[in-house]
Amino acid sequence: MSTDGAAGPAVWLVPAQWLPPTAEKTADALAAGRITAEEADAMGYEQLPVSDGPSAPEMAVRAARRALARAGLPAEGIGALWHAWTYYQGHDFWSPAHYVAARTGALDAVPTGVQQMCNGAGAALRGALHQLTAQPGGGPVLITTADRFAPPGFDRWHGDYGVWYGDGATAAVAGTGAAPAGALTLCALVTRAAPELESAHRDTDAFHPAPHTRSAAVDVRRTKKAFLAAQGGRQAFLGRLRHETTAVLADALAEAGQGGAGRLSSVLLPRLGRATARDVYGPAVAEVTDAPVADLGERTGHLGAGDLLSNLAALADDSGPHRLPPGGCAAVLSAGAGFTWSAAVVRRT
């Protein structure tokens, strides 16, 4: 468990995202037998964005350029780049973070890759925050995420229980000092972890010598089923998820000075669908604040490592329905296999 806040200059964020223009519709997946009617009802999502060309790192470059343009900053001035991902980045033995830095034009940046599963954006933001606090004059930091859940290695509709995976990339420029117009101020970032739960995504019988040795496609259902049987069932696991979510949000609100007093405009959730919002996140948030919760995944699905930054981009989007008004505050939750939870509290500058 850790609290990430530290005394230092205020940190601002300018987030953005890039999603492919093509999508697979839930209705079509249902008609093709890729999902059941019960699964579609539990998820409540309309579609998943699908990249028919750009790789994950190529999408990250597009999101990075968009974030830099919105911040009004040149790539040459970026001091560091943190790139996070969940799934395959297009090559077996390679650094996607360096590719994103090079193709974005951030040639003076020090790239770092972050693989913390679906909390990747939270982990990358945590690293950026620590760097900006330790070296406030070191220049802005660029954070990116990108995932492409393409066949044959991944079935975005049926490879996991209660999660549908969409392709896309997110980015954020983080810095100190004078904030660009429309930036968000990071009021708090708190992270908690429960490493003893790591086997939920691991075959417990053996380690494998190469990718896809155990199965041709990623099969999260297999590992989760074995994990839940060993942990006493689904309800016990959901109770642990609720507890950790409540704790990380409470700590973040306390750090931000909110105190759970209902001053938040909203709490944005990981994009895991209607049933998870009802059974886990809704009750967990209600223990801390009466602010409304929202799952913005109806047209994106779960973006792998990118949910947190995509939610921040929605708060910063002046033309969007979830725009955070000037002076308004919101919380964004993130969670990933391992398990790790992050909660960020932001204010509109």
Q: What is the pLDDT of residue 152?
A: 95
The amino acid sitting at 113 is: G
Q: What is the pLDDT of residue 9?
A: 79
pLDDT at 183 over 80: yes
Q: Is the dihedral of CA 199, 200, 205, 207 positive or negative?
A: negative
pLDDT in tens, 102-151: 999 999 999 999 999 999 999 999 999 999 988 877 789 999 999 999 99
Show the beta-strand stretches assigned E in 199-270: 267-268
pLDDT at 1 over 60: no
What does pLDDT average to over the chain? 93
Q: What is the pLDDT of residue 2?
A: 45
Closest CA to 128 of 239, 238, 241, 6: 6
Strand 80-84 relative to strand 293-294: parallel, antiparallel, unpaired? unpaired
Closest CA to 280 of 315, 323, 322, 249: 249
Predicted model pTM = 0.95
CA distance 32 to 72: 45
DSSP letter for 302, please: B
Strand 293-294 relative to strand 141-147: parallel, antiparallel, unpaired? unpaired
Percent of the chain with pLDDT over 90: 80
pLDDT in tens, 11-57: 999 999 999 999 999 999 999 999 999 999 999 999 999 999 999 99
Mean of the pLDDT values across residues 172-188? 94
Closest CA to 165 of 327, 55, 43: 43
> 236 φ, ψ to 5°?
-65, -40
Residue 73 token pair: 């900053």
In 70-109, which positions are buried (b, 16+ CB within 10 angstroms) versus exposed (e)? Answer: bbebebeebbbbbbbbbbbbeeeeeebbbbbbebbbbeeb
**Rounded-to-10 torsion of CA 165, 303, 104, 124:** -130
Q: What is the pLDDT of residue 4?
A: 65
Identify whether the C-beta of residue 273 lies closer than 8 Å to the C-beta of residue 314.
Answer: no
CA distance 281 to 292: 11
Mean of the pLDDT values across residues 54-72? 98
pLDDT in tens, 76-113: 999 999 999 999 999 999 999 999 999 999 999 999 99
Task: Identify the H or E element spanning 48.
Answer: strand 47-49
pLDDT in tens, 283-298: 999 999 999 999 999 9
Mean of the pLDDT values across residues 313-339? 94
Write the DSSP string, 283-299: HHHHTT--PPEE---TT
Closest CA to 283 of 239, 225, 345: 239
Query: What's the start-to-end Cα distance of the chain, in Å?
Result: 29
Q: What is the pLDDT of residue 5?
A: 52
> 225 φ, ψ to 5°?
-60, -45
pLDDT at 194 over 60: yes
pLDDT in tens, 261-272: 448 999 999 999
Q: How confident is the model at residue 188 (pLDDT cuts 50, 70, 90)?
A: very high
Identify whether the C-beta of residue 112 lies closer than 8 Å to the C-beta of residue 78.
Answer: no
